[in-house]
Amino acid sequence: MELNSVVMELPFRPYSFMVALVLGASMLLPGDAQGQEFASMEERPADELSLEEALRLAHEYNPDFRIQESQGDAAHLRQREAWGDLIPSANASTSFGYTASGERRFQSVQLGTEPAIYSSNYNLGVSMSLTGQTLLRPSVVRDQNTATRARIDGASAGLTDEVTQAYLSALQAQEELLQAETELERTRQYVRQAEAQVEVGAGTPLDIRRAEIQEGQAEVQLLQAENTAATSRLILGRVIGVGLPEDVALSTEFELFEPDLATEELLNLAMGQNPVLRASRSEAEAAQTQTRVARTQYLPSLSLSANWSGSVFEPADLNPLFENRLGQLSNQYASCQEDNRIRSLLGDPPRDCGQFDISDPQVETGALEQVRAQNQGFPFDYRAQPLSLSLQVSIPVFTGFSRQLQVEEARVSERNAQHQVRSEELRLRSEVEAAVRSVQTSFRTVALQSRIRDTAAEELRLAQERFRLGLASSIEVVDAQANLSEAEREEISAIYGFHISFAGLEALVGQSLR
């Protein structure tokens, strides 16, 4: 009644209630939900994006990686829960009941009429169960968490490689766009040169048409390069997990260098640090522990429990109990009087019947107080029950060959996990050796393409000079320009092919080699 009166006295203001509700809900929301879950590059003050910043954003916003990363969020809780199985569990319960007055019967036997009764009881229990699986579960969870973290590290390394590849592809598209703009400017200069040659009578309209065709092809090339650059930005933004504005500058520069690679040293590094191989080894260790767990099914199990309880019953109306108790005393008094008459005939001393004489106010008052003392205390004046303890030892004898099946399945899983580790080692060895060859070949290709580009540039210079002097046709200039344009594109492709190959080698080794 006091709580209800306090609540009713509070002033009710709908707007205050709504404000409190909204504020409370906002406090309950997680931090990511209160803020913006996915960022946008337009919100960032910087006008340029480095590779390091792209990697940081990708690890924060890439949804596929976030899904992988979320698998390790509850790892420490799983470890605690596994150790918790070795700690006794405790439970406490209480209940309150009401039984209406009426006739109590057991089948066809009438037990009498009882008043309405209020009842309450409590129960405290402590129990513990120990099996081989319980004892080994912390080791299983530890190995599983190690494998989970290794898989997350593998996903992080894969994301780093994917972002690096996309970043390099975007830079390559940007360089190809600049080359296309340079090529267009060269063709325009050639058009102006052809027009000047015609004006002085040293050329023909056919030279102008050839130059205009070359200019049109350069414009097509520029349009395609613009589309490729824009597409590469979109792909980079998708991999990072944010939207990239069109004017953001990719600020990280990749310089060409001669790689000094020792294959055996790189193989040793890869065997120890490659995240995929580490995950496979962790899963093999977890499978080995699972085999040990399966074998524990042949061991006995132990269960311990302790229980404390108490209850209290209080009738809603004590008058029927008073009448029942007084009736019992009257019957006892009459029985005592009859017993004394028999004793007098036999010459035995009489019994004291005064303790049953309800005509005595003291006897009646004492009986009523006794009934009242035995039927009060609701709801918390419990009468405790004796402590209960139990110990159970269970030894499995025959389980229908299920244990043999589970043990064999665990052994098969363990062998498969070991074979998977061996397969990953073979794959990694071949891929590292292939990546080293690819990097070395890419570096030599860059040197060759650079020499070809210099030769093509000299060829174009000589063709333009011969055309200016009237010693060559426009066909030579067009062919020389096409050769130079192709050589420049091939050089760009070779340079970034080297960087992409080197980034792939770093992903296999599991660390930076620059």
Distance CA 133, CA 289 (A): 10
Q: Looking at the domain assignment, is residue 58 inside a domain?
A: yes
Distance CA 506, CA 303 (A): 54
Band (31; pLDDT cuts 50, 70, 90) = very low
Radius of gyration over alpha carbons of the chain, in Å?
46
In this structure, of 48-52, 223-227, 317-321, 403-407, the range with the lowest mean pLDDT score is: 317-321
Tokens of 376: 């009060």
Q: Do 194 and 474 meet the contact criterion of CB atoms below 8 Å apart?
A: yes
Model pTM above 0.75: no
State phi, psi for 249 to the nearest 5 degrees.
Answer: -100, 135
Give percent of the chain above pLDDT 70: 89
Higher-pLDDT residue of 114 and 237 is 237
Residue 497 clears pLDDT 60, i.e. is over it = yes
Q: What is the pLDDT of residue 10?
A: 34
**Residue 296 exposure: Cα atoms within 13 Å on the Cβ side:** 15
The CATH number of whichever domain residue 419 belongs to comes to: 1.20.1600.10
Q: What is the pLDDT of residue 418?
A: 93
Going by their DSSP bridges, the two strands 301-315 and 383-384 should be labelled as antiparallel
Highest-confidence range of 11-15, 43-47, 90-94, 478-482, by mean pLDDT? 90-94
Q: What is the pLDDT of residue 228?
A: 93
Per-residue pLDDT, averaged over 101-106, amounts to 72
Residue 500 clears pLDDT 90, i.e. is over it = yes
Q: Looking at the domain assignment, is residue 358 inside a domain?
A: no
Distance CA 272, CA 261 (A): 17
Per-residue pLDDT, averaged over 469-489, amounts to 83
Count of domains observed in the chain:
1
Q: What is the pLDDT of residue 8?
A: 35
Q: How many residues does the chain have?
A: 514
Q: What is the pLDDT of residue 359?
A: 82
Band (390; pLDDT cuts 50, 70, 90) = very high
3-state per-residue secondary structure call for 490-514: HHHHHHHHHHHHHHHHHHHHCCCCC
- Rounded to the nearest 5 percent, the helix, strand and coil shares of the chain are 65, 10, 20
- pLDDT tens profile 142-185: 888 888 888 898 899 899 999 999 999 999 999 999 999 998 99
Residue 480 clears pLDDT 50, i.e. is over it = yes
Distance CA 123, CA 127 (A): 13
β-partners of residue 302 are 130, 393
Tokens of 147: 């494998």
Tokens of 177: 């766009």
Q: Looking at the domain assignment, is residue 43 inside a domain?
A: no
Range of the domain at 224: 49-87+131-300+399-509
Q: Looking at the domain assignment, is residue 312 inside a domain?
A: no
- pLDDT tens profile 244-295: 887 888 999 998 888 888 999 999 999 998 888 988 998 898 899 889 888 8
3-state per-residue secondary structure call for 372-433: HHHCCCCCCCCEECCCEEEEEEECCCCCCCHHHHHHHHHHHHHHHHHHHHHHHHHHHHHHHH
Q: Looking at the domain assignment, is residue 6 inside a domain?
A: no
Band (136; pLDDT cuts 50, 70, 90) = confident
Distance CA 390, CA 87 (A): 17
Question: For residue 221, what are the contacts with CB-CB under 8 A and spacing of at least 6?
Answer: 180, 183, 184, 485
Q: Looking at the domain assignment, is residue 458 inside a domain?
A: yes
In this structure, of 77-81, 234-238, 506-510, the range with the lowest mean pLDDT score is: 77-81
Q: What is the pLDDT of residue 385?
A: 87
Mean of per-residue pLDDT scores for the chain: 83
Q: Looking at the domain assignment, is residue 433 inside a domain?
A: yes
Q: Looking at the domain assignment, is residue 376 inside a domain?
A: no
